[in-house]
């Protein structure tokens, strides 16, 4: 009997089940059938007294609050176009940042390390953030090597997106350096490293 004739005698069900069985055998040793969440797959929660050590910065998230028309840097509130305009709502996260490298960095280099998680608000690592030094309200302070900076990270959020008394999740990331293939130097790939939960108030 020729090979094509033998193949035609194989039942259709066998053609269907054989690839599924092979896929199951491959997935099993790789953990594809695990029903238990492994500790290595869960992200740690960072309390206010815990420091996240990344490749570039040490980050300790302190507290968070909302303020209306009162930017921590002292900016004047924007003039409303009419009386129906909503107020400017700022989400402020206080964080202690230390540049652990031997190279100076700018505050904008922190973009992508802390990202608030608020339903209905589209934050990403490119969202506009204001960086303010807590001691003197200077904007965009330098992050010199080894110097601890107490900072306010400020986002403008829609009215009603977050209320005093709500719990805020702040996703934390590590910028992992890789040699760039497109230009000279390093590129920083952000990978999830943990999260912080803070109850926000109004100030």
Tally of structural domains, the chain? 2
Per-residue pLDDT, 65: 98
**Residue 192 shares a structural domain with residue 105:** yes
User: How sure is the predictor about 54, in pLDDT bands with cuts at 50, 70 and 90?
Assistant: very high
Separation CA 131–CA 133 (nearest Å):
7
**Residue 8 shares a structural domain with residue 72:** no
**Residue 30 shares a structural domain with residue 86:** no
Strands (E), the chain: 52-53, 57-68, 89-99, 105-106, 114-117, 130-133, 142-143, 148-157, 167-179, 186-199, 201-202
**Residue 21 shares a structural domain with residue 92:** no
**Residue 33 shares a structural domain with residue 84:** no
**Residue 16 shares a structural domain with residue 102:** no
89-99/142-143 β-pairing:
unpaired
pLDDT digits (tens, 9 = 90+) for 131-143: 999 999 999 999 9
pTM of the model: 0.76
| Beta pairing partners, 31 | none
Whether 169 contacts 197, CB under 8 Å: yes
Dihedral over Cα of 116, 44, 199, 71: its sign: negative
pLDDT digits (tens, 9 = 90+) for 10-50: 565 554 556 555 555 554 454 554 555 444 468 999 999 99
**Residue 35 shares a structural domain with residue 82:** no
Per-residue pLDDT, 7: 47
- Average of pLDDT values for 70-90? 80
- Average of pLDDT values for 73-89? 77
**Residue 32 shares a structural domain with residue 114:** no
Per-residue pLDDT, 86: 82
Separation CA 109–CA 103 (nearest Å):
12
User: How sure is the predictor about 173, in pLDDT bands with cuts at 50, 70 and 90?
Assistant: very high
Average pLDDT of the chain, as a whole number: 84
Whether 54 contacts 99, CB under 8 Å: no
**Distance from CA of residue 30 to its chain's centroid?**
28
Per-residue pLDDT, 168: 98
Which residue, among 55, 130, 139, has the nearest Cα to 99 in the 3D structure? 55
| Beta pairing partners, 192 | 173
Q: Which domain, by its residues, includes 138?
A: 46-202
**Residue 177 shares a structural domain with residue 120:** yes
User: How sure is the predictor about 174, in pLDDT bands with cuts at 50, 70 and 90?
Assistant: very high
**Residue 98 shares a structural domain with residue 161:** yes
| Beta pairing partners, 60 | 96
CATH of the domain at 194: 2.60.40
**Residue 172 shares a structural domain with residue 99:** yes
**Residue 184 shares a structural domain with residue 124:** yes
Whether 84 has a pLDDT exceeding 50, the answer reads yes
Per cent of the chain over pLDDT 90 is 61
């Amino acid at each position: 009997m020729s090979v094509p004739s033998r193949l035609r005698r194989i039942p259709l069900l066998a053609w269907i089940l054989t690839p599924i069985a092979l896929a199951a055998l491959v997935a099993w040793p790789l953990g594809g059938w695990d029903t238990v969440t492994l500790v290595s797959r869960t992200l740690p929660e960072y309390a206010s007294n815990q420091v996240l050590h990344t490749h570039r910065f040490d980050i300790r998230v302190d507290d968070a609050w909302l303020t209306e028309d009162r930017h921590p840097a002292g900016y004047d509130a924007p003039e409303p176009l009419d009386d129906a305009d909503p107020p400017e709502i700022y989400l402020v996260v206080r964080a202690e940042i230390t540049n652990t490298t031997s190279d100076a960095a700018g505050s904008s280099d922190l973009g992508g390390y802390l990202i608030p998680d608020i339903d209905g608000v589209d934050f990403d690592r490119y969202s506009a953030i204001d960086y303010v030094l807590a001691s003197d309200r200077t904007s965009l302070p330098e992050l010199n090597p080894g110097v601890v900076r107490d900072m306010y990270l400020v986002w403008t959020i829609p009215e009603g997106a977050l209320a005093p008394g709500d719990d805020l999740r702040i996703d934390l990331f590590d910028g992992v350096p890789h040699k760039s293939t497109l230009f000279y130097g390093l590129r920083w790939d952000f990978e999830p490293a943990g999260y912080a939960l803070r109850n926000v108030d109004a100030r």
